[in-house]
A = this chain, B = another copy of it.
Amino acid sequence: MCEANAYVKDGENEVLFMESVDTIEPYENGLKLMDIFGKQMFIQARIKDMNLLNHRIVLEKTSDHKHIKHPHEYND
């Protein structure tokens, strides 16, 4: 199977955001990811780099927000 894991770059670290990602598409001001089980997650980020043979996608947040499902939860 050719799914990949998506990581979010957080300073020096890369934090696992979602495993077994099948599809990625732009959604509003971020990305919508869907895993092989059909679960969807949204993140306000862009693709920083992607390495398919290593099953690895690194995302970079495009705002100070953490992920964005419920923007009202956030305070900056």
Name A residues whose Cβ lies closer than 8 Å to a Cβ of B.
1-4, 21-26, 36, 46-53, 55
Contact = CB atoms under 8 A, between A and B. Distances in A.
B22 A47 contact: no
A2 B55 CA distance: 8
A49 B25 contact: yes
Nearest to A3: B52
A46 B22 contact: no
Contacts of A4: 2, 52
A33 to B, nearest CB: 10
23 contacts: A2-B2, A2-B4, A2-B52, A2-B53, A2-B55, A3-B52, A3-B53, A4-B52, A21-B52, A22-B52, A22-B53, A23-B51, A24-B49, A25-B47, A25-B48, A25-B49, A25-B50, A26-B46, A26-B47, A26-B48, A26-B49, A36-B53, A52-B52
